[in-house]
């Protein structure tokens, strides 16, 4: 039963993701040059994939129109680690990827394969206002009719109740985010911590930040040539959504390519959730964050009322 949620290693996952997660923990051997894009689902992973791939490979594709993102869905350009290891059971070292290998993962920091935590590889984490994340995930599951204990066939109120208990793919969200946040605070060379809302606010600033973090900062010459603008335009919601490759077809046979590009906005939760629901979640979040840095998760609740 694919949609059944189980608790493993302190976090919630659908049973069908348990085996890929165990394979990842067991087999994946990180290289120092690897780049791992970590996120809670529906927090901007697809966008981060497009940005990081374009930054890291900008010298390979001399002009922007050679970038494979124009003809390949970002989910395939940067594969999900769990899913790939599961598919590559016979050949789990994944050595055939070109350098730097870029993978995404939703696994919480403390449950990552040891080699990711122990090697010199870099991790970029992106988080998002959990209320927007919750709505994005719900819409995604409904759109793709994915069997999922926490969404189908539940009403919004019931689904929200589970969300408040932390029952979501790789939830609770507060543990997930704090796990990466705490490593970032101790070792900012290892983890770059980004927020979806900040990327929306000033993409050029964060493009440069990602490039610096990866040890390949943009040169003055590149900036004068407008390389940062070209990358941010290529990876923009409007551009990616409207590319032919992202309008049709399926990712892994069940998720519509187009469903990874829904609205791409900040604050869409206000169209679905009541102020009382938001207040309830805000209180939970605050109690979970007690004793840690308060701005670990963007809590932009107030602007809506």
38 vs 162, beta carbon nearer ligand A3P: 38
Positions in 16-45 near ligand A3P (CB under 6 A): 39, 41-45
Rule CB under 6 A: say whether 236 interacts with ligand A3P: yes
Work out which of 28, 174, 184, 260 binds ligand A3P, going by CB under 6 A.
Answer: 260
The partner residues of 280 in beta bridges, in order of sequence, read none
Q: Which residues contact 178 (CB under 8 A, 6 or more apart)?
A: 288, 289, 292, 296
Site string for ligand A3P, 137-156 (x = CB under 6 A): --x-----------------
**Closer residue to ligand A3P in complex, CB, 187/242:** 242
Between 119 and 147, whose beta carbon lies closer to ligand A3P? 147
Does the active-site annotation cover 73?
A: no
CA distance 222 to 228: 8
The per-residue DSSP string of 162-210 comes to: HHHTT-STT--HHHHHHHHHHHHHH-TTTEEEEEHHHHHH-HHHHHHHH
Our CB check for ligand A3P shows the closer of 44 and 100 to be 44
Alpha-carbon gap, residue 134 to 43, rounded angstroms: 9
- How do the residues of the chain divide into helix, strand and coil, expressed in percent and rounded to 5? 50, 10, 40
Q: What is the closest distance, in whole angstroms, from the C-beta atom of residue 289 to ligand A3P in the complex?
A: 22
End-to-end CA distance of the chain: 41
Residue 77 binds ligand A3P, judged by CB under 6 A: no
Least gap, CB of 141 to ligand A3P (angstroms): 11
Using rule CB under 6 A, residue 163 touches ligand A3P: no
Q: How many Å apart are CA 295 and CA 269, to the nearest integer?
A: 20
Structure tokens at 19: 């085996």
Longest dimension (CA), the chain: 55
Which residue is catalytic, options 73, 106, 176, 201? 106
Binding region for ligand A3P (CB under 6 A) out of 9-17, 148-156, 179-187, 232-240: 232-240
Bridge partners of residue 37, in order along the sequence: 104, 124
Closest CB to ligand A3P among 236 and 292?
Answer: 236
In whole angstroms, give the CA distance from residue 109 to residue 183.
8
Length of the chain: 305
Binding pattern for the stretch 46-65 against ligand A3P, x by CB under 6 A and - elsewhere: xx------------------
Closer to ligand A3P by Cβ: residue 44 or 298: 44
Contact with ligand A3P (CB under 6 A) among 7, 89, 263, 294? 263
Residues annotated as catalytic (active site), given as ranges: 106
Binding footprint of ligand A3P on the chain (CB under 6 A) = 39, 41-47, 132, 136, 139, 235-237, 240, 260-264, 268
């Amino acid at each position: 039963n694919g949609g059944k949620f189980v608790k493993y290693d302190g976090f919630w996952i659908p049973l069908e993701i348990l085996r890929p997660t165990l394979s990842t923990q067991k087999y994946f051997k990180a290289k120092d040059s690897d780049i791992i894009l970590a996120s809670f689902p529906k927090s901007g992973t697809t966008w981060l994939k497009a940005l990081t791939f374009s930054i890291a490979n900008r010298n390979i594709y001399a002009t922007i129109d050679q970038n494979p993102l124009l003809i390949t869905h970002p989910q395939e350009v940067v594969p999900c680690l769990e899913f790939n290891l599961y598919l590559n059971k016979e050949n789990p070292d994944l050595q055939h990827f070109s350098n730097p290998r870029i993978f995404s993962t939703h696994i919480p920091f403390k449950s990552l394969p040891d080699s990711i935590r122990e090697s010199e590889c870099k991790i970029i984490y992106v988080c998002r206002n959990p209320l927007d994340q919750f709505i994005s995930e719900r819409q995604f599951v409904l759109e793709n009719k994915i069997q999922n204990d926490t969404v189908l066939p539940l009403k919004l109120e019931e689904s929200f109740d589970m969300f408040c208990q932390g029952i979501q793919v790789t939830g609770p969200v507060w543990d997930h985010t704090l796990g990466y946040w705490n490593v970032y605070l101790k070792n900012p060379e290892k983890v770059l911590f980004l927020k979806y809302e900040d990327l929306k606010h000033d993409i050029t600033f964060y493009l440069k930040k990602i490039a610096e973090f990866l040890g390949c900062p943009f040169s003055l010459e590149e900036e004068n040539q407008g390389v940062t603008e070209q990358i941010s335009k290529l990876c923009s919601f409007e551009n990616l959504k409207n590319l032919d490759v992202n309008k049709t077809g399926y990712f892994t046979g069940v998720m519509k390519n187009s469903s990874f590009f829904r609205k791409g906005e900040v604050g869409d939760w206000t169209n679905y959730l009541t102020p009382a629901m938001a207040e309830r979640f805000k209180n939970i979040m605050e109690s979970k964050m007690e004793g840690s840095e308060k701005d670990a998760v963007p809590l932009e609740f107030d602007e809506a009322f």
